[in-house]
Structures are given as structure tokens and as C-alpha cells.
Structure 1
């Protein structure tokens, strides 16, 4: 039986920066798993869904798993996904929606790597505070997990971590950096769970810079480690499509996440 296709999906509306970032995610995933049919759909722009489904149907795909590229919600997904599942069915493709990426623990490992890159780019040697930034709009479980991630990040690095939930204007990021600086923290790095360098990311990055942060992470969409997390979500969804005959679904030959990093001096 051929493996179900992966449909990477987000509820974006065709912003060029976001579209390019999503395309990068798809390409990184395709390099890791060239054997899997992979499509990309921006559900806020209907033609991209039609194109994705048409291409899979033409390739003889009969099953697919929609993976929501949502870093905020742990279990819930937007209504557009239910519409997408029905559209897939109309083309002879049985599909379901996996759990969103959500505020998974593994994102902290990705942020650690990006923080190190940002510090290196600024030739910064000291760090005495962190800000964890996420977009607003997640479900209740996602919000609870996000607070837990902030505590875990703080415990791991033995540094104070301020959580900022952004509405898109950068004000929450600025307030979080200011709060740490008011505590006497002068070397603050900001780690944001943004997939793409869209308007919300740019507003947050500018606000962090103006507030005095010494380092600001890039969007995580370019991280090759994100593809491992996507494949984990896909694997569980693919098993559900096996119609009562569970079989192991290979996530990746070297499936692992970055190990915890030791705190710097």
C-alpha cells in the first residue's frame, strides 16, 4: 500500500513572504522524504488547495494527511480544514487532519539553535534573560502548553523567561523585554515561534530591537529540524488512515530531535 500524501496546510492568504517560507518548509521536507507525495495548500487562498488536490489526484494518490502548520493550538484546527477534507473526498482522496504542530517541546530545541545563531551574529557573549514569543489565537490546551514551555526554557537555562503572546503589533514583545530590563537584565534574547517573516514577525522583531533586546531569532520555517516534527504529526495521522490495520509508519531513518544543550558559563 502506498503511503498517504502529506498536505502541509496553513490558513494564510497568499502573503508573498509567508508563501515563500511555506515553500521552503515543503522543500526541506521533500529532501528528507523524497518517497512521499507532498503538497502545500494555503487554505485562505482557495486556488492553492485546488492545485494541491488536483496534482495529487493526477498522481494517483488516494489518501492524504493534512498537517496544520499552526504553532499555537495543541488539538484544535480552523474550520477551513474540514472544508479541505470534503474537497479532497470529492476528488477521490480520503483524508484527515492531524494534530497541529502546536507548542511542542521540540520547538525549544529549535529556538535554542536560533538563539545561538542570533547571539553569534551580534558577537554577544552574555545572556541573562529570555523572551518566548508566540502568536495569539491558540486553543486552551495550546495556551497551557505554551506557559509550560516558558517554565521549561527557564529551568533549562536557569534564566528568567518572559512569555509574550503577540496580537501582531509587537507590543507584547516590547513589554516582555522591558519587564526583564526593569529587573536589571541587560542581555536579553528573544525567541519567537513564527514560521515566516510576515508582517507580524517584522512588527515583533522591530519592537524587540527598540526595547533593547540584544538578539532576535529568525523565523523557524527554515529550520531543517521542523520537518521531523511535521513527520511525527503525519505518522500518527497516516496510521489512522490504515482502516483498522495498524502498521508502523516510518517517520525518518534518523528520527531524533536536538538534545538538550548545556547552559553557557
Structure 2
């Protein structure tokens, strides 16, 4: 019996860098599991669309699909958009067994990726000293999603023994610029910002712009295509594939 196909489902963006990053990430997944049929898809704004990919897989003979949402927090896209898309795909293809897994979420191993990206940014900026950190995320109207980012920021700060503030690019205060200025008001001058985004786009760019305007000495790139992120996708897939097995 063939293993279920894996669809890595991202939100999508008008920024072409976002789709290129998702492609590179999915290539990492394929390299780790060349035995699997692995496809990327997007909810909106980028191609291929989720429904197009599902149609393609069904036409190729796949009757089981595990969808891994490439989302970091349990906000609107995770709670509404993904379930709706998966339900629509199931309705279009009677007999198809399709299941969405838990989102990527905010795994502790992603802090290692943040550190890698931040070290790259600090090296480019020729920075050797830090006295505060800002963890920049998308932000949500869902308070629980923002609280999850704040918890991760506390864990990260404890690891580095530095003060850390979570900041958000939309929906919720503080913005990255506000967070940087608050640290500067305390007398801290060497403040770096880590981008807790999966891929480049408008929100990461805006967060970086505001941080630099406020005096941040370095801003990292998003998590992007990294083996730890790819391994997390495969871990979610493994659980989803087991849940497709009839009891």
C-alpha cells in the first residue's frame, strides 16, 4: 500500500520570495523522504492552489492525503481557512481520505533556527554585543495565539539570559519599533530582532523596517528552509498518516 501523499499547505503571498522559500522548504522535505509524494500548495495569493494540487493527486491515483498546515500559530487561518479548504476538497472527491494535521506551531527546536538566522544577521552587521532581544511575529486578533508567541519569547530570553519582548507586525501591540524604543528608553543600545515568520513577505519587511527605524542593530531573516522545520513537517505528517489508518 502506498503511503498517503503529503501536501504542505502555506497561506500564500503576493511577494514571490515567499513562494520561493516554501519551495525550498518542501525540497528539504523531499530530500529527507524521497519515498513520499510531497507537494506544496497555497490557500491564496500564490500558486498552485490547494484545490489544484488535490485534483492533481487524485488524478494520479492517490486516495489518501495528509495536509500539513505551514502555520506557526493557531489563529484564523488555522481554525477556519484550513478546515474549510480540506472539507471542500473532500466534498469535491467522494472517496478521498484527506486529513489536516496540527499546524507547525511554535516548536522549541525553532529557537535553534532563530539563533542561526540571528547569528547570520549579527555577522553581517558586525555586531558582537547584545543587551536585549525582540521576537517579531505576525500577530493576531486571537489573544491565545499572541500569548503563545510571548511564551516562546520568554523561553528564548531565559536561554540567552537576556531580556526579550514579543512584538507583532499586525493586529496587536507592541509593534517592533515600539519594542525597540522601550528597550532604548531603559538605556539598552544593542538590540537585535529575530523574525518569527516562516517566509519573507510584507509583514516581515514591515517589522524589520520599523525595528531599524527605532534603532535595532540587526534583524534576522525568517525561519525559511531549514532541516529542523522540514523535520517538523514530517513529524506532523507521520501523526496524520497514522490517523488515516482505519481502526
In the superposition, the TM-score normalised over structure 1's length comes to: 0.83
Partner in structure 1 of residue 191 of structure 2: 188
Give the deviation of 1:85 after TM superposition. 2.1
Partner in structure 2 of residue 212 of structure 1: 215
Q: Is 1:235 aligned to 2:242, yes or no?
A: no
**Greater shift in the superposed pair: 115-124 or 69-78:** 69-78
Partner in structure 2 of residue 258 of structure 1: none
CA contact (8 A) 1:72 1:139 kept: no
Helix, strand or coil at the partner of 1:77: helix
Q: Is 1:7 aligned to 2:10, yes or no?
A: no
Partner in structure 2 of residue 23 of structure 1: 23
Helix, strand or coil at the partner of 1:196: coil
* C-alpha distance 171-164 of structure 1, shift in aligned 2 (>3 A): closer
**Greater shift in the superposed pair: 98-107 or 50-59:** 50-59
Q: Counterparts of 1:98-247 in structure 2 under 5 Å?
A: 98-137=101-140, 139-167=142-170, 172-244=175-247
Give the deviation of 1:205 after TM superposition. 1.1
Helix, strand or coil at the partner of 2:206: helix
Helix, strand or coil at the partner of 1:17: helix
The separation in 1 between residues aligned to 2:83 and 2:63, in whole angstroms, is 18
In the superposition, the TM-score normalised over structure 2's length comes to: 0.89
RMSD over equivalenced CA pairs, Å: 2.4
1:209-245, Cα deviation, whole Å (9 max, x unpaired)? 111111111111222321011111111111111122x
CA contact (8 A) 1:76 1:100 kept: no
Give the deviation of 1:115 after TM superposition. 1.0
Give the deviation of 1:171 after TM superposition. 7.0
| Structure 2 stretches lacking a partner, 5+ long | none
1:23-65, Cα deviation, whole Å (9 max, x unpaired)? 2221121112111111111112586223311221233211111
**Greater shift in the superposed pair: 174-183 or 56-65:** 56-65
